Amino acid sequence: MHMFEACLAWEGTLTGGADVWSRQAEQIGGLALEHFIRSDGMLREFFDGDWTPMSDDSGRIVEPGHQFEWAWLLWRWDASRGVDVARSAASRLASTAEEFGVDRQRDLAIMEIWDDRTVKDDRARLWQQTERIKCWLAMAEIAEDDAARDDAYDRVARSVAGVERYLAYPVTGGAYEFIDRDNRVLADDARASSMYHIICAVAEMHRLLR
């Protein structure tokens, strides 16, 4: 996933030598469409050497945050190439993650669900909320009508409100990492990795909403 993101970034930045990154992006995008994303709109996490979901319970794990993130990446891929099948897959990932991977009471994306759409881990982590923002910004951009666009922007606004809860951290520049099933912020060390997700979400909002 992050290799795919890096390839898309490099090919859009380099003035020369971008072909190698474009070819790599094509391979990863094709792999995602052929093996990672199933017809039920669920993106599995763990695969064997033949790109078949693992036969044990690990092969049934679905992370809503990664569904949102892959939806955004496939939208970027589609935007640069007009790959209609990627746009369809992105929309399917987004709607499935929103329907089954977001807790309605907290309005937060949760950690994990099973492939039968039942909850596995209902903690809500910061980075998943930022990927939800990016995903619905992308869905607003490809919306077919005003109603769909307004709905996507509403989900962006709700996702931003969710992120703001994590940012109420006692140390400037830090952020909480988890909110539990009872809607309580969990005291924990701030994770440096979360900054990447926050910055990317802010950059996308700036780019698409300005």
**Cα(57)–Cα(142) distance, integer angstroms:** 35
Q: Render pLDDT for 59-115 as a digit per residue (tens, 0 to 9).
A: 999 999 999 999 999 999 998 887 787 899 999 999 999 999 999 999 999 999 999
17 versus 34: which is more confidently predicted? 34
Tell me which residue has tokens 């962006």: 156
**Is residue 41 within 8 Å of 56, Cβ to Cβ?**
no
CB atoms within 10 A of CB 48: 10
**Is residue 25 within 8 Å of 8, Cβ to Cβ?**
yes
With both helix axes pointing from N to C terminus, report the angle between 64-81 and 19-31 in degrees, rounded to the nearest 10: 130
Element (H, E) at 113: strand 112-114
Overall number of domains in the chain: 1
Q: Render pLDDT for 43-52 as a digit per residue (tens, 0 to 9).
A: 999 999 999 9
**Residue 41, SS3?**
coil
Residue 102 sits in a domain whose CATH number is: 1.50.10.10
As a three-state string, the secondary structure of 45-71 is CCECCCCCECCCHHHHEECHHHHHHHH
Q: Render pLDDT for 178-194 as a digit per residue (tens, 0 to 9).
A: 999 999 998 878 788 89
Can you give the residue range of the structural domain that contains 142?
A: 2-209
